[in-house]
Every structure is written in structure tokens, then in C-alpha cells.
Chains A and B, each alone.
Chain A
């Protein structure tokens, strides 16, 4: 699916850019964004190091294992193929906690750690497992109870009004994500090895 969407984005851009006479901007965007990608990745190094360092302390001291144990019943339902005492469960829980609390820059490093641990359970290293897809879908549905700082900054006191609406919408999208992965994982075209 990603193959087609990726190609479609580029194809449509070039065709539309040609028609609208913005082909120069399209070229420029391609070059600029490739630079931006590297800047983003380099910008992540420090934050990644900070949180992975703190996480390592939490792991060595047994904190993560304790958290994973507490939330085991829910995690078994969401990630049936991950052993409930696996370190990935602890990381997934902490990543979700960081997302819920709006700690975006802590959530990413912890999330990537979770991916690494899920990858250890993966037999086909270039193909996503069901657990990875579930984790990603829940993540992108953005479970959040603290409003994004940028929204609060722009809206001021009015931001209070959207507190409830945001929790409602984010709750609906997370439920949809969980239902979607459970249904999609059963579809033939998404079985491992059938993706083009």
C-alpha cells in the first residue's frame, strides 16, 4: 500500500505541478525536503540519547518490568503474540504514557526502543509484524489528554473549550485504530509475503 501511495504522491505532484506551472517549486521542495530529513534526524540524536539513557536506568533497576506487569491484562489483548514478560511490553506502555501526557519528545525515543524490541521477535526482518502494526496504529491515533502546547499557545483561554472535544475525538480514533488492525490483520491481502 505504501508503495502506491508514495508513487501517487510523486506522480500527482509532477503532473499537477506541470499543469499549474509550479514545477520549479516542486523541484525545489524535493531538494529542500531531503535536506530537512537529515536535519530532523540529526536533531533527534540528542533527545534520543537523553531518553534512551534514562530508559536504560529504568530498565536496569526493574522499573519497566514492574510497569509492564501492572498493565499485563490489557497488553495481552492488544499484543497477543508478544510474551507478556517481554521488555517490549514495558516500552510500549511507557510510550503510550508519554503520548497521553503530551510528552512528544520523550514518546519518540521510547517508541523506537519498543520497535527495536518488537523487531527481536520478528522472523522476517523487513516485514512488519501484527504487533508492530497495532503499536503504530495506536500511536498515530494520538492518545492524548494534554492539549498540544502549540494549540494552547495559539488559542489562549479558548483552548479550555476544546479539552473535552479532543479527548472524545482522540478516544474515537484510538478505538477505530484497534478495531482496524484487528480486522485488517485477518485480510488475505495483508498476510505476510503478499505485499508488493
Chain B
């Protein structure tokens, strides 16, 4: 049953973008008589400004994260956290991905690929990793881009809330996979 749901949702997802690209102008032009071409160009103009505006914020965040990854601090962090993780039943194999996930999309995809290669697709570590990957976001990047686009520098509790959500998502991923797959 679940297999069919996956096939079905994946089939649908292939058609969503084409559907939106044709459906929205259709509704606008045919039903509401909106000048769709002019509206489109009008909206598209903003894309340029917003993209340029986020550059300083992206540089700030991505440089710090890049330095952190390159320094080998990740390995040190894992070394120190392993004893604590053993207590709560968190597999150390999944720790690098858990730490990387909020920091970097490409970095966490690399670590996930590594899990697949090292343990195979049927291993619990791969399943936990995949669940983590799908259930959390690159919080720092999203924060930089979203707040940067409107020039917000004081983010207040946004980062704290985002990281709490990440931790809950990551722990949920571990425990639900342990319950279902062990």
C-alpha cells in the first residue's frame, strides 16, 4: 500500500510545476482577463533585486560554516559528544549528518551519500539518515536568505526556534526508525 502511495505522490510531483505554470496564467487570462504577460514581467523584475540583496548575508553565514567544516572541528565535536549520545541511544554513525544538516545542504547530502556507500540502503543508519535529511532544513542558510532579502539583521529568537525544531526532528528520526526498523 505504502509503495503505491510513493509512486502516486512521485507521479503527481512531476506534474505540479507544469500544472502551476499553465494553470495560473490560464486562470488569470481566460477567467479573470488579467494581462498575464505584463503581470509576469512586472513580478519577475523583483527577482533580481532580492537575489542581489541576500549576498552579504550569504557570505557571512557560508564563510563561517565553510571555515568550520574545513578546520576539522566537526571531528572534535563528535569525539566529545559520543559519550552523551550513547546514554540517549543516539547512534554515533548519524551524528555528523545531524550536526551538518542545519549548516549545509551540500555538506549533509555528501554525508548522507557516505552513509549509503558505507552501510548500504538497508541499514538502519541509512534509514535514520534519510529520515533526518527529509525532515529538517538547512536552518542557517534559510535564515540568511530569508532575513537577508529584507535586510533584517536582528533575528531575535528565529535561530533558537529553528534549531529546537531541528533537534526535535533529528531525535524523532532516530527513535521512529529504531521503533520501526529494529
Chain A residues proximal to chain B, CB less than 8 Å: 1-2, 5-6, 9-10, 12-14, 16-17, 20, 22-23, 25-26, 28-30, 32-34, 36-38, 40-42, 44-63, 101-103, 106, 108-109, 111-113, 115-116, 118-119, 124-128, 132-137, 139-142, 144-148, 150-152, 154-156, 158-166, 168-170, 172-177, 180-181, 184-185, 187, 190, 192, 195
* Contact, CB under 8 Å: B156 / A155: no
Number of interface residues of B (CB under 8 A): 102
CB neighbours of B40 from chain A (8 A): 53-54, 56-57
* Contact, CB under 8 Å: A6 / B51: no
**Known A29-B67, A48-B46, A115-B150; further 17 A-B contacts with Cβ < 8 A:** A23-B71, A40-B58, A44-B47, A48-B47, A52-B47, A54-B24, A57-B39, A57-B40, A106-B17, A126-B152, A135-B146, A136-B143, A136-B147, A139-B137, A163-B6, A164-B180, A166-B135
Known contacts A151-B133, A155-B121, A169-B169, A181 near B28 by CB under 8 Å = no
Choice from A63, A113, A164 contacting B24 with Cβ under 8 Å: A63
In the assembled complex, B89 has its CB within 8 A of some CB on chain A = no
> Chain B nearest CB: distance from A188 CB in Å?
11
* Contact, CB under 8 Å: A145 / B68: no
CA A15 to CA B161, docked complex, whole Å? 28
In the assembled complex, B145 has its CB within 8 A of some CB on chain A = yes
Please report which residues of chain B, range 102-132, place their CB below 8 angstroms from some CB of chain A when the two chains form the complex.
Answer: 102, 109, 112-113, 116, 121-122, 126-127, 130-132
> Chain A nearest CB: distance from B21 CB in Å?
7
CB neighbours of A109 from chain B (8 A): 47, 50
> Chain B nearest CB: distance from A21 CB in Å?
9
CA A75 to CA B43, docked complex, whole Å? 25
Choice from A20, A42, A155 contacting B126 with Cβ under 8 Å: A155
CB neighbours of A17 from chain B (8 A): 67, 70-73
Known contacts A45-B51, A54-B20, A158-B121, A30 near B63 by CB under 8 Å = yes
CB neighbours of B136 from chain A (8 A): 140-142, 169-170, 173
Which residue on A lies nearest to B67, using beta carbons?
A13
Known contacts A53-B40, A155-B121, A48 near B13 by CB under 8 Å = no
Known contacts A1-B159, A30-B66, A160-B6, A177 near B165 by CB under 8 Å = yes
Chain B residues proximal to chain A, CB less than 8 Å: 2-3, 5-6, 9-10, 13, 16-17, 20-21, 24-25, 27-28, 31-32, 34, 36, 39-48, 50-52, 54-55, 58-73, 76, 102, 109, 112-113, 116, 121-122, 126-127, 130-139, 142-143, 145-147, 149-162, 164-170, 172-173, 176-177, 180-181
Q: Is the interface of B mostly helix, strand, loop or mixed?
A: helix
Which residue on B lies nearest to A17, using beta carbons?
B71
> Chain A nearest CB: distance from B100 CB in Å?
13
* Contact, CB under 8 Å: B154 / A127: yes
CA A118 to CA B59, docked complex, whole Å? 24
* Contact, CB under 8 Å: B151 / A125: yes
> Chain A nearest CB: distance from B153 CB in Å?
5
Which residue on A lies nearest to B143, using beta carbons?
A136
CB neighbours of B58 from chain A (8 A): 37-38, 40-41
CB neighbours of B42 from chain A (8 A): 53, 56
Known contacts A137-B161, A142-B137, A13 near B68 by CB under 8 Å = yes
